[in-house]
Structures are given as structure tokens and as C-alpha cells.
Amino acid sequence: MRARAARRTARQSGAALLAAMLTVTLVATFAAAALWQQWRSVEVEAAERGRVQSAWMLTGALDWSRLILREDARAGGADYLAEPWAVPLNEARLSSFLAADKSAGAPDTEGGTEAFLSGQISDLQARLNVLNLIDGNAISEPALASFERLFLRLGLPVPPVKALAGSLLEASQNAGPAATPSTPLMPQRVEQLVWLGLSPQALAVLEPYITLLPLRTPVNLNTASAEVIYASTPGLEMADAQKLVAARERSHFRNLSEASRQIGATAERFADGPFSVTSRFFEVRGRLRLDQTVVQERSVLQREGLAVRTLWRDRGVVTDWPATSAKP
């Protein structure tokens, strides 16, 4: 009798212990789930706050770039690489823009997340415009010859140039509601030229020398590379193009006649139309670093007189930013 009572008591004790252990396990599980949900909410809120802050800062940087280009237009004259808009902004602490030091009113960010900003304005008319391949409802033979010269100079096969021009013409003529599924889409940006059959490998080589703008544009002799000047000028030798680049480093060209004289041309070598010494289209690249998160933005601006408008903007997070990158 006593043995049976002892066994019953033991079973009850074991059941009570098991229930207690299950209760503890459930409480720990619920607590861990609640803690994870809270941590996730904090991380989402921090990410959203960082995204909004980055967007506002990069928008401010873009507005500052537009102001610089507007003031440059107000001053008038040629556009060249020694002007304020062409000076790149190396990575700098954002608080340094607010004041020279803390005594001047700069916020004390000691122990907080610091923001670092860098950026650059580039002249898009320093490159060959792909849209120049189309002249009305036909392929432009002078522009086609320029692109063929550029392809040869860069060691790329020439046949894809005609295919690219043909596809671009077809896309421009069939854009809109009348387009069929087989009609190639009209690209808006250089990286979209792969739609028209240009290989990614060729595009990677061409990218520093070409652009895609909404209308036909001349090449700015004050900002274009020697390769672009060589490609866009029939009969010009590469040595003359390099001589032109070296000459403008000493003094920019105020007009096309000065550029022609630099290569000893007896007549006007650079005609008004294919060439210019001023620009209307610019690319703005901005990069913001918050701790180990890097957000970069690319914008294309069009300047008409004192009006500077944004044609398009791209923004994204850089995922391969090195964790050990140097800080200023």
C-alpha cells in the first residue's frame, strides 16, 4: 500500500516537473519571439530613417549642383574643366559643411553616426552621343563614321555599329502605342543599349566615351577626351587630338577658331554644329556614407539658359563597399 502511494506520488511529481519545464519553455519561446519582433522593428525603423535621411541629403547635394551650374551659366562663356562645376568633391565629413569648427555652431556628433559626402559633375557633351546616329528618319553617315572610328580606336569590331544604328532607327520610328512586340524598345540610358544588340563587354569598353541624350548634341572640345575628338573629326590624327587636349590644359578654347589654330589648320577644322565649346547636359554623381552603409545617386541635368532641370535620377545602395575603407 505504501509502495503504491509512493509510486503515485512520484508520478505526480514527475508530471508537475514536466509541466513546469513545458511552461518555462513556452515562456522563453514567447519572450524570444517578442524580443526578435522588437529588434526587427527597431532595425526596420533605423533603416527607414537612414533611407529618408540619405534621400534628403542627396537631394540637397543635387540642388547644390544645379545652383553651381546655374551660376556658371550666369557668368557665361565657354565650359571647360577648370571651372568650379568640374572640380570633384572628395569624401568629406558632412558636418564640415555646416561650420568650420564646433565653436562656430557645428553640431557635436561625437559618439554618433557620422555622414560623409562625395560627388562630381561631368560634362556629357564630352562624349559621343548615340542619338547622333539618327538624323530625322535616316541614319547619319557622319555620326556613323565617327562611331566606327571610335570602335576601331578602342579595338572593338566595327560591324556592330551599323546594327546598333539600324536598331536605334527602328526603335525611334516605332516608339509609342503603335509598337509591336518585335519592335526594339527605345533606350533611355547607355546601359540599355544591350537591348539593341550591343554586347555587355563592348559596352563596358565604350561607356567612358559615349552617352545617350534626348536630342542630338555637339562635342565640347574643352572637355572631350582625345579619343572622342579623334573619332568625331574626319581625317584628324590621334597625335593632333592629343595636342589639342594638351593645349587646352594651358588655356581653354573660347571659340572653335582657337581650337583649329592649335593644330595648325589653315581653315576652320571644327565646324559649328558637330562641335562646340559650351555644354547643356551634365551628369551628377553623389555618394553618401553613413557608417558602413553607402548610398549613391546618379542624375542627368539639362541646362537651358539659367534653367537647370533634372531629366532622371537613379539611387541605390552600394553592397560591396569595403568595411576597411579609409576615412578622412
User: pLDDT tens, 116-153?
Assistant: 889 999 999 999 999 999 998 899 999 999 999 999 99
CA distance 200 to 207: 10
pLDDT at 322 over 70: no
Give the CA dihedral 194, 200, 204, 205, nearest 10 degrees: -100
User: pLDDT tens, 264-276?
Assistant: 765 578 888 899 9
User: pLDDT tens, 227-247?
Assistant: 999 999 998 999 999 999 999
Give the burial class of 223: count Cβ atoms within 10 A of its Cβ; 0-12 exposed, 13-18 middle, 19 or more buried. Answer: buried
pLDDT at 323 over 50: no
DSSP states of 185-218 as a string? P--SSGGGGGGGT--HHHHHHHGGGEE--SS---
pLDDT at 232: 95
Assess contact for 135 and 143: CB atoms under 8 A: yes
Instruction: Tell me the CATH class for 47-126+280-318.
Output: alpha beta
User: pLDDT tens, 21-36?
Assistant: 888 888 888 888 888 8
Q: Which of 133-137, 176-180, 285-289 has the weakest average pLDDT?
A: 176-180
| C-alpha distance from residue 210 to each of 126, 191, 218, 241, 276 (Å) | 8, 11, 12, 17, 17
Domain ranges of the chain: 47-126+280-318
Does the model's pTM come out above 0.75? Answer: yes
CA distance 155 to 192: 22
